[in-house]
Structure 1
Amino acid sequence: MQPSPAEIARTIAAGHLPAVAHIACHPGPVPVRHVTDVQGRPLLLVPTESTLSTALRPQPGNDDTALVLDIRDVPPMSSSPALGRVWVSGWAARLHGDEARSAALDYADTDACGDLLDVGGSQALYRMDVAEVRYERDEHLIEIDPDDYAEASPDPLRAVEFDLIADLADHHVTEMSDYVRRQLGPAARPDDEPRVVRLDRYGFLVRMNGRSARLAFPRPVTDRHDLAHLLHPILCRRCAAA
Protein backbone atom coordinates (compact mmCIF):
# COMPACT_ATOMS: atom_id res chain seq x y z
CA MET A 1 0.00 0.00 0.00
CA GLN A 2 1.22 3.48 -0.86
CA PRO A 3 -0.29 6.91 -1.51
CA SER A 4 -2.08 7.53 -4.79
CA PRO A 5 -0.94 10.43 -7.01
CA ALA A 6 -4.02 12.39 -5.89
CA GLU A 7 -3.14 11.86 -2.22
CA ILE A 8 0.48 12.90 -2.83
CA ALA A 9 -0.71 16.01 -4.67
CA ARG A 10 -3.01 16.92 -1.76
CA THR A 11 -0.15 16.33 0.69
CA ILE A 12 2.31 18.54 -1.20
CA ALA A 13 -0.30 21.27 -1.71
CA ALA A 14 -1.63 21.18 1.87
CA GLY A 15 0.29 24.24 3.05
CA HIS A 16 3.35 22.93 4.88
CA LEU A 17 5.66 23.72 1.95
CA PRO A 18 6.67 26.98 0.24
CA ALA A 19 4.92 27.86 -3.00
CA VAL A 20 5.17 30.34 -5.84
CA ALA A 21 2.36 31.66 -8.00
CA HIS A 22 2.53 32.16 -11.76
CA ILE A 23 -0.12 34.80 -12.37
CA ALA A 24 -1.72 35.75 -15.67
CA CYS A 25 -0.37 39.02 -17.09
CA HIS A 26 2.32 39.22 -14.42
CA PRO A 27 6.00 38.56 -15.23
CA GLY A 28 7.81 35.91 -13.22
CA PRO A 29 6.74 33.77 -10.25
CA VAL A 30 5.74 35.36 -6.93
CA PRO A 31 6.20 33.67 -3.51
CA VAL A 32 2.86 33.10 -1.79
CA ARG A 33 1.65 31.84 1.59
CA HIS A 34 -1.09 29.28 1.26
CA VAL A 35 -2.96 26.33 2.73
CA THR A 36 -5.72 24.18 1.25
CA ASP A 37 -9.22 23.74 2.62
CA VAL A 38 -11.01 20.40 3.04
CA GLN A 39 -11.84 20.36 -0.67
CA GLY A 40 -8.24 20.99 -1.70
CA ARG A 41 -8.91 24.58 -2.77
CA PRO A 42 -5.86 26.78 -2.07
CA LEU A 43 -6.36 29.72 0.26
CA LEU A 44 -3.81 32.49 -0.32
CA LEU A 45 -2.89 34.87 2.51
CA VAL A 46 -1.79 38.10 0.85
CA PRO A 47 -0.65 41.49 2.25
CA THR A 48 -3.04 44.06 0.81
CA GLU A 49 -0.18 46.43 -0.05
CA SER A 50 2.11 44.09 -1.96
CA THR A 51 3.24 43.06 -5.42
CA LEU A 52 1.21 39.87 -5.06
CA SER A 53 -1.96 41.78 -4.23
CA THR A 54 -1.48 43.96 -7.30
CA ALA A 55 -0.83 40.92 -9.50
CA LEU A 56 -4.02 39.22 -8.25
CA ARG A 57 -6.19 42.23 -9.05
CA PRO A 58 -8.70 41.06 -11.69
CA GLN A 59 -8.66 42.56 -15.16
CA PRO A 60 -11.55 44.91 -15.95
CA GLY A 61 -14.77 42.95 -16.37
CA ASN A 62 -13.52 39.91 -14.39
CA ASP A 63 -14.11 38.81 -10.79
CA ASP A 64 -11.08 36.53 -10.52
CA THR A 65 -7.55 36.01 -11.81
CA ALA A 66 -6.02 32.97 -13.50
CA LEU A 67 -2.90 31.55 -11.87
CA VAL A 68 -0.86 28.42 -11.32
CA LEU A 69 0.34 27.48 -7.85
CA ASP A 70 3.72 25.71 -8.02
CA ILE A 71 4.78 23.66 -4.97
CA ARG A 72 7.87 21.46 -4.64
CA ASP A 73 8.26 18.86 -1.93
CA VAL A 74 11.08 19.45 0.55
CA PRO A 75 12.41 16.13 1.91
CA PRO A 76 12.50 15.87 5.72
CA MET A 77 16.11 14.62 5.74
CA SER A 78 19.08 15.10 3.42
CA SER A 79 18.97 11.37 2.71
CA SER A 80 15.22 11.36 1.97
CA PRO A 81 13.89 11.27 -1.60
CA ALA A 82 11.59 14.11 -2.68
CA LEU A 83 7.94 13.32 -3.39
CA GLY A 84 8.00 15.55 -6.45
CA ARG A 85 6.26 18.72 -7.57
CA VAL A 86 2.65 19.82 -8.00
CA TRP A 87 1.05 22.49 -10.14
CA VAL A 88 -2.49 23.55 -9.21
CA SER A 89 -4.15 25.73 -11.86
CA GLY A 90 -7.32 27.75 -11.52
CA TRP A 91 -8.81 31.13 -10.70
CA ALA A 92 -8.40 33.10 -7.48
CA ALA A 93 -10.87 35.62 -6.10
CA ARG A 94 -10.60 37.78 -3.00
CA LEU A 95 -12.93 36.89 -0.16
CA HIS A 96 -14.86 39.42 1.89
CA GLY A 97 -17.10 39.47 4.95
CA ASP A 98 -18.40 36.14 6.21
CA GLU A 99 -16.58 34.23 3.47
CA ALA A 100 -13.26 35.74 4.54
CA ARG A 101 -13.92 34.99 8.21
CA SER A 102 -14.88 31.38 7.43
CA ALA A 103 -11.80 30.95 5.23
CA ALA A 104 -9.60 32.38 7.99
CA LEU A 105 -10.81 29.61 10.29
CA ASP A 106 -10.06 27.04 7.58
CA TYR A 107 -6.60 28.56 7.15
CA ALA A 108 -5.95 28.41 10.89
CA ASP A 109 -6.64 24.67 10.92
CA THR A 110 -3.32 24.25 9.08
CA ASP A 111 -1.42 27.43 9.97
CA ALA A 112 -2.72 29.46 12.90
CA CYS A 113 -0.52 32.48 12.10
CA GLY A 114 -1.06 35.89 13.68
CA ASP A 115 -1.60 37.62 10.33
CA LEU A 116 -5.04 35.98 10.12
CA LEU A 117 -6.17 38.49 12.77
CA ASP A 118 -5.56 41.27 10.23
CA VAL A 119 -7.66 39.76 7.41
CA GLY A 120 -9.85 42.57 6.16
CA GLY A 121 -7.18 45.12 7.04
CA SER A 122 -3.51 44.68 6.21
CA GLN A 123 -4.12 41.11 4.99
CA ALA A 124 -6.50 39.57 2.48
CA LEU A 125 -7.56 36.00 1.73
CA TYR A 126 -8.03 34.66 -1.79
CA ARG A 127 -9.56 31.30 -2.66
CA MET A 128 -8.68 29.34 -5.77
CA ASP A 129 -11.20 27.31 -7.74
CA VAL A 130 -9.17 24.35 -9.03
CA ALA A 131 -9.35 23.60 -12.74
CA GLU A 132 -6.28 21.42 -13.31
CA VAL A 133 -3.78 19.47 -11.20
CA ARG A 134 -0.47 18.10 -12.46
CA TYR A 135 1.98 16.00 -10.47
CA GLU A 136 5.58 15.41 -11.51
CA ARG A 137 8.07 12.96 -10.05
CA ASP A 138 11.31 11.71 -11.58
CA GLU A 139 10.48 13.53 -14.84
CA HIS A 140 7.17 11.64 -15.09
CA LEU A 141 4.14 13.92 -15.36
CA ILE A 142 0.68 12.78 -14.25
CA GLU A 143 -2.56 14.66 -14.94
CA ILE A 144 -4.82 14.28 -11.91
CA ASP A 145 -8.58 14.60 -12.24
CA PRO A 146 -9.68 17.63 -10.16
CA ASP A 147 -12.47 15.54 -8.60
CA ASP A 148 -10.00 12.83 -7.52
CA TYR A 149 -7.78 15.56 -6.09
CA ALA A 150 -10.68 17.10 -4.17
CA GLU A 151 -11.78 13.74 -2.73
CA ALA A 152 -8.26 12.74 -1.62
CA SER A 153 -6.91 13.79 1.77
CA PRO A 154 -3.42 15.02 2.66
CA ASP A 155 -1.21 12.69 4.64
CA PRO A 156 -1.78 13.21 8.39
CA LEU A 157 1.90 12.58 9.21
CA ARG A 158 3.49 15.02 6.75
CA ALA A 159 3.73 17.96 9.18
CA VAL A 160 5.50 15.80 11.79
CA GLU A 161 7.44 13.51 9.44
CA PHE A 162 10.82 15.06 10.34
CA ASP A 163 10.17 14.67 14.09
CA LEU A 164 9.09 11.05 13.67
CA ILE A 165 12.09 10.05 11.53
CA ALA A 166 14.49 11.89 13.86
CA ASP A 167 13.02 10.11 16.88
CA LEU A 168 13.44 6.71 15.21
CA ALA A 169 17.04 7.57 14.29
CA ASP A 170 17.91 8.88 17.76
CA HIS A 171 16.18 6.31 19.97
CA HIS A 172 15.05 3.23 18.06
CA VAL A 173 17.75 2.28 15.56
CA THR A 174 18.23 -1.26 16.89
CA GLU A 175 14.52 -2.04 17.14
CA MET A 176 13.77 -0.69 13.66
CA SER A 177 16.77 -2.50 12.17
CA ASP A 178 15.60 -5.80 13.69
CA TYR A 179 12.06 -5.21 12.46
CA VAL A 180 13.17 -4.38 8.90
CA ARG A 181 15.36 -7.49 8.78
CA ARG A 182 12.45 -9.65 9.92
CA GLN A 183 10.18 -8.13 7.28
CA LEU A 184 12.71 -8.54 4.47
CA GLY A 185 13.58 -12.11 5.44
CA PRO A 186 16.04 -13.69 2.97
CA ALA A 187 16.32 -10.38 1.07
CA ALA A 188 18.14 -8.81 4.06
CA ARG A 189 21.92 -8.76 3.92
CA PRO A 190 24.32 -9.14 6.87
CA ASP A 191 25.85 -5.71 6.25
CA ASP A 192 22.50 -3.89 5.92
CA GLU A 193 22.00 -0.89 8.20
CA PRO A 194 18.35 0.08 7.59
CA ARG A 195 17.41 3.73 8.11
CA VAL A 196 13.92 5.17 7.78
CA VAL A 197 14.00 8.04 5.26
CA ARG A 198 10.27 8.68 4.59
CA LEU A 199 7.06 8.04 6.50
CA ASP A 200 3.39 8.32 5.52
CA ARG A 201 0.03 6.89 6.58
CA TYR A 202 0.62 3.68 4.64
CA GLY A 203 4.14 2.76 5.73
CA PHE A 204 7.75 3.81 5.59
CA LEU A 205 10.67 3.82 3.17
CA VAL A 206 14.03 2.50 4.38
CA ARG A 207 17.48 2.83 2.86
CA MET A 208 20.12 0.12 3.21
CA ASN A 209 23.58 0.49 1.66
CA GLY A 210 22.31 1.95 -1.59
CA ARG A 211 19.10 -0.10 -1.71
CA SER A 212 15.59 0.97 -0.79
CA ALA A 213 12.59 -0.95 0.48
CA ARG A 214 9.05 0.13 1.29
CA LEU A 215 7.36 -1.55 4.25
CA ALA A 216 3.60 -1.23 4.67
CA PHE A 217 1.66 -0.84 7.92
CA PRO A 218 -1.11 -3.39 8.59
CA ARG A 219 -3.56 -0.53 7.99
CA PRO A 220 -3.38 3.20 7.22
CA VAL A 221 -2.76 5.31 10.32
CA THR A 222 -4.92 8.31 11.14
CA ASP A 223 -2.53 10.52 13.13
CA ARG A 224 0.66 10.58 15.22
CA HIS A 225 -0.96 8.91 18.22
CA ASP A 226 -2.35 6.14 16.05
CA LEU A 227 1.13 5.60 14.62
CA ALA A 228 2.62 5.37 18.11
CA HIS A 229 0.03 2.74 19.03
CA LEU A 230 0.80 0.78 15.87
CA LEU A 231 4.58 0.92 16.34
CA HIS A 232 4.58 0.20 20.07
CA PRO A 233 5.02 -3.57 19.69
CA ILE A 234 7.96 -2.94 17.34
CA LEU A 235 9.75 -0.30 19.38
CA CYS A 236 9.17 -1.83 22.81
CA ARG A 237 11.94 -4.42 23.29
CA ARG A 238 9.99 -6.30 25.94
CA CYS A 239 6.98 -6.52 23.62
CA ALA A 240 9.18 -7.63 20.71
CA ALA A 241 10.77 -10.33 22.84
CA ALA A 242 7.35 -11.60 23.89
Structure 2
Amino acid sequence: MRPSPAEIVRTLVAGRLPGLAHVAHRPGPHHVRHVTDPDGRVLLLVPVVSDLAAALRPAAHEEDVAIVLDVLDLPPAAGAPTLGRAWVSGWAAELRDDDARRAALDFAAVEPTGDLLDLGTRFRLFRFEVAEARWERAGTVRRIDPEVYAEAEPDPLHPLEAELLADLADHHGPEVTRYLRRQLGLTDGEGGDPPRVVRIDRYGLVVALGRPGARRRARLSFPAPVADHAELARLLHPMICPHAGTR
Protein backbone atom coordinates (compact mmCIF):
# COMPACT_ATOMS: atom_id res chain seq x y z
CA MET A 1 0.00 0.00 0.00
CA ARG A 2 1.10 3.53 -0.72
CA PRO A 3 -0.48 7.00 -0.96
CA SER A 4 -2.60 7.64 -4.04
CA PRO A 5 -1.80 10.63 -6.29
CA ALA A 6 -4.86 12.45 -4.92
CA GLU A 7 -3.68 11.85 -1.33
CA ILE A 8 -0.22 13.15 -2.20
CA VAL A 9 -1.65 16.35 -3.69
CA ARG A 10 -3.91 16.85 -0.65
CA THR A 11 -0.86 16.33 1.60
CA LEU A 12 1.33 18.77 -0.33
CA VAL A 13 -1.24 21.59 -0.40
CA ALA A 14 -2.55 21.05 3.14
CA GLY A 15 -0.67 24.08 4.44
CA ARG A 16 2.51 22.71 6.01
CA LEU A 17 4.72 23.59 3.03
CA PRO A 18 5.46 27.01 1.45
CA GLY A 19 3.23 27.94 -1.47
CA LEU A 20 3.38 30.26 -4.44
CA ALA A 21 0.26 31.89 -5.87
CA HIS A 22 0.03 32.63 -9.58
CA VAL A 23 -2.84 35.02 -10.33
CA ALA A 24 -4.17 35.16 -13.88
CA HIS A 25 -3.10 38.22 -15.88
CA ARG A 26 -1.20 39.68 -12.91
CA PRO A 27 2.53 39.96 -12.13
CA GLY A 28 3.89 37.29 -9.84
CA PRO A 29 4.25 34.71 -8.44
CA HIS A 30 3.51 35.64 -4.82
CA HIS A 31 4.51 33.87 -1.62
CA VAL A 32 1.29 32.99 0.18
CA ARG A 33 0.16 31.63 3.53
CA HIS A 34 -2.40 28.96 2.84
CA VAL A 35 -4.17 25.91 4.26
CA THR A 36 -6.90 23.61 3.02
CA ASP A 37 -10.18 23.12 4.84
CA PRO A 38 -11.75 19.66 5.48
CA ASP A 39 -13.33 19.74 1.99
CA GLY A 40 -10.01 20.48 0.29
CA ARG A 41 -10.85 24.10 -0.50
CA VAL A 42 -7.82 26.41 -0.36
CA LEU A 43 -7.79 29.28 2.14
CA LEU A 44 -5.37 32.18 1.64
CA LEU A 45 -4.44 34.55 4.47
CA VAL A 46 -3.46 37.76 2.68
CA PRO A 47 -2.14 41.04 4.16
CA VAL A 48 -4.41 43.94 3.25
CA VAL A 49 -1.44 45.95 2.05
CA SER A 50 0.41 43.58 -0.30
CA ASP A 51 0.97 42.87 -3.96
CA LEU A 52 -1.06 39.66 -3.59
CA ALA A 53 -4.06 41.56 -2.20
CA ALA A 54 -3.89 43.91 -5.18
CA ALA A 55 -3.61 40.98 -7.59
CA LEU A 56 -6.66 39.28 -6.03
CA ARG A 57 -8.81 42.37 -6.43
CA PRO A 58 -11.32 41.47 -9.19
CA ALA A 59 -12.15 43.76 -12.05
CA ALA A 60 -15.36 45.77 -11.83
CA HIS A 61 -17.40 43.17 -13.73
CA GLU A 62 -15.95 40.14 -11.88
CA GLU A 63 -16.62 38.46 -8.54
CA ASP A 64 -13.50 36.29 -8.33
CA VAL A 65 -10.04 35.84 -9.82
CA ALA A 66 -8.42 32.79 -11.44
CA ILE A 67 -5.50 31.52 -9.36
CA VAL A 68 -3.03 28.62 -9.23
CA LEU A 69 -1.40 27.47 -6.00
CA ASP A 70 2.02 25.90 -6.57
CA VAL A 71 3.56 23.77 -3.78
CA LEU A 72 6.90 21.94 -3.95
CA ASP A 73 7.70 19.17 -1.48
CA LEU A 74 10.60 19.70 0.92
CA PRO A 75 12.06 16.26 1.76
CA PRO A 76 12.28 15.85 5.55
CA ALA A 77 15.84 14.50 5.68
CA ALA A 78 19.00 14.26 3.60
CA GLY A 79 18.65 11.53 1.00
CA ALA A 80 14.87 11.34 1.29
CA PRO A 81 12.96 11.10 -2.01
CA THR A 82 10.67 13.97 -2.89
CA LEU A 83 6.90 13.68 -3.14
CA GLY A 84 7.05 16.01 -6.11
CA ARG A 85 5.07 19.12 -6.84
CA ALA A 86 1.37 19.98 -6.76
CA TRP A 87 -0.63 22.62 -8.59
CA VAL A 88 -4.25 23.31 -7.72
CA SER A 89 -6.31 26.00 -9.40
CA GLY A 90 -9.68 27.68 -9.10
CA TRP A 91 -11.35 31.07 -8.70
CA ALA A 92 -10.51 32.90 -5.48
CA ALA A 93 -12.97 35.23 -3.78
CA GLU A 94 -12.69 37.19 -0.55
CA LEU A 95 -14.67 35.89 2.40
CA ARG A 96 -16.68 38.23 4.59
CA ASP A 97 -18.70 38.18 7.81
CA ASP A 98 -19.85 34.70 8.91
CA ASP A 99 -18.07 32.97 6.01
CA ALA A 100 -14.79 34.60 7.03
CA ARG A 101 -15.27 33.67 10.70
CA ARG A 102 -15.98 30.02 9.88
CA ALA A 103 -13.03 29.89 7.48
CA ALA A 104 -10.79 31.42 10.16
CA LEU A 105 -11.57 28.43 12.40
CA ASP A 106 -10.63 26.06 9.58
CA PHE A 107 -7.40 27.99 9.04
CA ALA A 108 -6.55 27.95 12.75
CA ALA A 109 -7.06 24.18 12.89
CA VAL A 110 -4.05 23.82 10.57
CA GLU A 111 -2.05 26.96 11.41
CA PRO A 112 -3.12 28.65 14.65
CA THR A 113 -1.58 32.02 13.88
CA GLY A 114 -2.38 35.13 15.90
CA ASP A 115 -2.74 37.07 12.65
CA LEU A 116 -6.24 35.65 12.37
CA LEU A 117 -7.19 37.99 15.22
CA ASP A 118 -6.57 40.88 12.83
CA LEU A 119 -8.90 39.50 10.18
CA GLY A 120 -10.78 42.35 8.56
CA THR A 121 -8.21 44.96 9.56
CA ARG A 122 -4.67 43.86 8.65
CA PHE A 123 -5.56 40.60 6.91
CA ARG A 124 -8.18 39.13 4.61
CA LEU A 125 -9.17 35.55 3.90
CA PHE A 126 -9.73 34.30 0.37
CA ARG A 127 -10.99 30.88 -0.61
CA PHE A 128 -11.22 28.83 -3.76
CA GLU A 129 -12.63 25.42 -4.57
CA VAL A 130 -10.19 23.29 -6.54
CA ALA A 131 -11.32 23.06 -10.15
CA GLU A 132 -8.12 21.48 -11.45
CA ALA A 133 -5.33 19.55 -9.73
CA ARG A 134 -2.03 18.31 -11.11
CA TRP A 135 0.84 16.33 -9.62
CA GLU A 136 4.36 16.33 -11.02
CA ARG A 137 7.04 13.83 -10.10
CA ALA A 138 10.16 12.65 -11.93
CA GLY A 139 9.28 14.78 -14.95
CA THR A 140 5.77 13.33 -15.35
CA VAL A 141 2.65 15.44 -14.79
CA ARG A 142 -0.58 13.69 -13.83
CA ARG A 143 -4.01 15.29 -13.69
CA ILE A 144 -6.14 14.49 -10.64
CA ASP A 145 -9.92 14.48 -10.85
CA PRO A 146 -11.16 17.35 -8.62
CA GLU A 147 -13.79 15.12 -6.99
CA VAL A 148 -11.19 12.45 -6.21
CA TYR A 149 -8.93 15.18 -4.81
CA ALA A 150 -11.74 16.50 -2.58
CA GLU A 151 -12.52 13.01 -1.24
CA ALA A 152 -8.88 12.25 -0.40
CA GLU A 153 -7.31 13.14 2.94
CA PRO A 154 -3.89 14.64 3.67
CA ASP A 155 -1.49 12.30 5.41
CA PRO A 156 -1.82 12.81 9.20
CA LEU A 157 1.88 12.00 9.74
CA HIS A 158 3.25 14.54 7.27
CA PRO A 159 3.44 17.45 9.76
CA LEU A 160 5.49 15.23 12.10
CA GLU A 161 7.57 13.37 9.53
CA ALA A 162 10.89 15.17 10.03
CA GLU A 163 10.57 14.88 13.82
CA LEU A 164 9.71 11.17 13.58
CA LEU A 165 12.66 10.42 11.32
CA ALA A 166 15.06 12.31 13.59
CA ASP A 167 13.76 10.45 16.65
CA LEU A 168 14.21 7.04 15.00
CA ALA A 169 17.75 7.91 13.86
CA ASP A 170 18.96 9.69 17.01
CA HIS A 171 17.36 7.64 19.77
CA HIS A 172 16.63 4.20 18.29
CA GLY A 173 19.26 3.77 15.57
CA PRO A 174 20.58 0.25 16.44
CA GLU A 175 17.09 -1.12 17.12
CA VAL A 176 15.76 0.30 13.85
CA THR A 177 18.70 -1.12 11.88
CA ARG A 178 18.16 -4.61 13.30
CA TYR A 179 14.42 -4.41 12.61
CA LEU A 180 14.93 -3.27 9.01
CA ARG A 181 17.50 -5.99 8.34
CA ARG A 182 15.07 -8.64 9.60
CA GLN A 183 12.18 -7.28 7.56
CA LEU A 184 14.28 -6.99 4.39
CA GLY A 185 16.00 -10.36 4.87
CA LEU A 186 19.49 -8.82 5.11
CA THR A 187 22.28 -10.44 7.10
CA ASP A 188 24.70 -8.33 9.15
CA GLY A 189 27.03 -6.50 6.79
CA GLU A 190 24.99 -7.34 3.69
CA GLY A 191 24.11 -4.39 1.47
CA GLY A 192 26.89 -2.08 2.66
CA ASP A 193 25.77 0.81 4.85
CA PRO A 194 22.89 0.10 7.27
CA PRO A 195 19.37 0.53 5.85
CA ARG A 196 17.79 3.85 6.86
CA VAL A 197 14.18 5.04 7.12
CA VAL A 198 14.00 8.15 4.93
CA ARG A 199 10.23 8.73 4.70
CA ILE A 200 7.19 7.83 6.77
CA ASP A 201 3.56 8.04 5.72
CA ARG A 202 0.34 6.53 6.98
CA TYR A 203 0.86 3.47 4.76
CA GLY A 204 4.44 2.54 5.65
CA LEU A 205 8.15 3.28 5.64
CA VAL A 206 10.49 4.11 2.76
CA VAL A 207 13.91 2.60 3.41
CA ALA A 208 17.15 3.64 1.69
CA LEU A 209 19.71 0.92 0.99
CA GLY A 210 23.44 1.45 0.44
CA ARG A 211 25.48 4.61 0.74
CA PRO A 212 23.80 7.97 1.48
CA GLY A 213 22.56 9.35 -1.82
CA ALA A 214 22.10 5.94 -3.41
CA ARG A 215 18.79 5.43 -5.20
CA ARG A 216 18.13 1.87 -4.00
CA ARG A 217 15.01 1.97 -1.86
CA ALA A 218 12.47 -0.45 -0.46
CA ARG A 219 9.01 0.08 0.98
CA LEU A 220 7.74 -1.62 4.13
CA SER A 221 3.96 -1.41 4.33
CA PHE A 222 1.98 -1.29 7.54
CA PRO A 223 -0.77 -3.89 8.06
CA ALA A 224 -3.30 -1.06 7.71
CA PRO A 225 -3.12 2.74 7.31
CA VAL A 226 -2.45 4.49 10.62
CA ALA A 227 -4.75 7.25 11.80
CA ASP A 228 -2.38 9.33 13.92
CA HIS A 229 0.92 9.52 15.79
CA ALA A 230 -0.35 7.45 18.72
CA GLU A 231 -1.32 4.56 16.45
CA LEU A 232 2.04 4.80 14.69
CA ALA A 233 3.87 4.60 18.03
CA ARG A 234 1.99 1.41 18.93
CA LEU A 235 2.77 -0.09 15.55
CA LEU A 236 6.48 0.74 15.72
CA HIS A 237 6.88 -0.47 19.30
CA PRO A 238 8.45 -3.82 18.22
CA MET A 239 11.00 -1.86 16.18
CA ILE A 240 12.20 0.49 18.92
CA CYS A 241 11.77 -1.84 21.90
CA PRO A 242 14.14 -4.84 21.69
CA HIS A 243 12.13 -6.80 24.27
CA ALA A 244 8.85 -6.55 22.37
CA GLY A 245 9.78 -9.21 19.88
CA THR A 246 9.23 -9.19 16.14
CA ARG A 247 5.91 -9.22 14.36
Q: Which runs of 5+ in 2 are unaligned?
A: none
Give the equivalent residue in structure 2 for 1:147: 147
| Seq. identity, % | 55
Find out whether 1:240 has 2:241 as its counterpart: no
State the Cα distance separating 1:235 from its structure 2 match: 1.2
Q: Equivalences for 1:49-198 in 2 at 5 Å?
A: 49-185=49-185, 189=190, 191-198=192-199
Find out whether 1:36 has 2:36 as its counterpart: yes
Q: Runs of 4+ in structure 1 displaced over 6 angstroms?
A: none
Letter matched to residue 204 of structure 1: L
Deviations 1:20-69 (A, max 9, x none): 11101212211110000011111000011111100000112111000110
Q: Contact 2:191 / 2:209 at 8 angstroms: preserved in 1?
A: no
How large is the RMSD of aligned CA atoms in angstroms? 1.5
2: distance between equivalents of 1:195 and 1:66? 43
TM-score of the superposed pair, with normalisation by structure 1: 0.97
Residues 241 and 40 from structure 1, CA distance in 2 versus in 1: closer, same or farther, beyond 3 angstroms?
Answer: closer
1: distance between equivalents of 2:164 and 2:66? 38
Deviations 1:167-198 (A, max 9, x none): 00001111111111111126982534011110
Aligned residues: 242
Moved more, 176-185 or 36-45: 176-185
2: distance between equivalents of 1:191 and 1:74? 27
Aligned residue for 2:131, secondary structure, equals strand
2: distance between equivalents of 1:214 and 1:190? 16
1: distance between equivalents of 2:24 and 2:99? 24
Q: 1:227 aligns with which of 232, 240, 247?
A: 232
Aligned residue for 1:3, secondary structure, equals coil
1: distance between equivalents of 2:246 and 2:226? 24
State the Cα distance separating 1:208 from its structure 2 match: 1.5
Q: Contact 2:40 / 2:129 at 8 angstroms: preserved in 1?
A: no
